[in-house]
Amino acid sequence: MINIVIKEPNVLYRHGLYCFLADIFFDEFQQGTCFSIELNPESICWADIIILSVPLEECESCFSELKARKTGIIIVLVNDEGVSIPSCSFCLPGSVFISRRLSLNEFRKCLLREWRKTQLPNYQLSNNYCCNCQYQTLSLQQLRIMSSLYKGKSTLEIANELMISNKTVFTHKYRVMKKFGLRSDVELRLFLIRLAEKKFCPIMCREISDDVVAKMGVF
């Protein structure tokens, strides 16, 4: 039995993945499949395959929940074609980034290629996920500004609160947008909302203590 976790908000697309993956593993290996949509330490621990639907800008942020992973492969679905390999692929061994626009045949080839690697006798999954971390991070000042933007404050309000100039606020804002490949204020807003939904992973500001983050009440 192949255990598969799929985090995909589009119900129809997710159902299509169920059918597609079930057919692949039955045709190729005569194996059944068991699916879950719950992404938590327990499901990640037993999953042979984890499929994540991730906005492109989040590919450079930390997937801390995946630290519970002990085996298998990770497939990250992204919307853009020709996406460069994000830095997180280097500390998440066995991960592959696939465009949603990829043909079913190419998707199948990628999946089988990665799956067969895990079946080799000498295959061993590294658990040093956080060594030499290459994730993009936020400075304390950027964290304050992003928190204020998320709360709907204007640039002028933020500048007055932090006792800095409007220009400094804009500079930090666009540096953050550049770090995460955000192309507009709308994308920045959606990105901040997603961080809030994830309860803001503190690894994005590693130099800041948890106490400081808690006192700031960010996101």
Which CATH number belongs to the domain containing residue 148 in this structure?
A: 1.10.10.10
* Prediction pTM value: 0.63
Q: Are residues 76 and 177 in the same domain?
A: no
190 and 150 share one domain: yes
Instruction: Please indicate whether residue 124 or residue 173 has the higher confidence score (pLDDT).
Output: 173
- Say how many domains are in the chain: 2
Q: 137-147 pLDDT, tens per residue?
A: 678 888 889 88
Do 157 and 98 share a structural domain? no
131 burial via Cβ count (<10 Å: 0-12, 13-18, 19+): exposed
The pLDDT tens digits of the residues spanning 178-217 come to 877 788 898 888 888 877 766 554 434 444 444 444 444 4
So what's the pLDDT on residue 64?
Answer: 66
Q: How far apart are CA 1 and CA 84, in angstroms?
A: 33
Write the CATH number for 32. Answer: 3.40.50.2300
Pair 88, 27 in one domain = yes
The reported pLDDT for the residue numbered 126 is: 59
Residues 112 and 201 both lie in one domain: no
* 174 within domain boundaries: yes
User: Is residue 112 in some structural domain?
Assistant: yes
Indicate if 23 and 68 belong to the same structural domain: yes
| Inside any domain, residue 131 | no
Q: Do 62 and 14 reside in the same domain of the chain?
A: yes
Same-domain pairing of 112 and 145 = no
Same domain (yes/no): 147, 111: no
Query: How confident is the model over 16-68, as pLDDT tens digits?
Result: 999 999 999 999 999 999 999 988 888 888 889 999 887 766 665 666 677 77
Does 25 reside within a domain?
yes
- SS3 string, the chain, reads CEEEEEECCCHHHHHHHHHHHHHHHHHHHCCCEEEECCCCHHHHHHCCEEEEECCHHHHHCCCHHHHHCCCCEEEEEECCCCCCCCHHHHCCCCEEEEECCCCHHHHHHHHHHHHHHHCCCCCCCCCCCCCCCCCCCCCHHHHHHHHHHHCCCCHHHHHHHHCCCHHHHHHHHHHHHHHCCCCCHHHHHHHHHHHHHCCCCHHHHCCCCHHHHHHHCCC
For 190, the token pair is 């959606």
Q: Which domain holds residue 202?
A: 140-216
Q: Which of 118, 149, 172 is the last residue of a domain?
A: 118
pLDDT above 60: residue 84: no
Classify residue 135: in a domain, yes or no.
Answer: no
Token couple for 96: 């592959």
Q: Are residues 207 and 158 in the same domain?
A: yes
Backbone angles phi, psi at 26, to 5 degrees: -75, -45
Q: Please check whether residue 134 lies inside any domain of the structure.
A: no
Contact present, 3 and 34 (Cβ < 8 Å):
yes
pLDDT at 166: 92
Which pair of tokens denotes residue 123? 């295959």
Asked, for residue 124, whether it belongs to a domain, the answer is no
Identify whether 123 is part of a domain. no
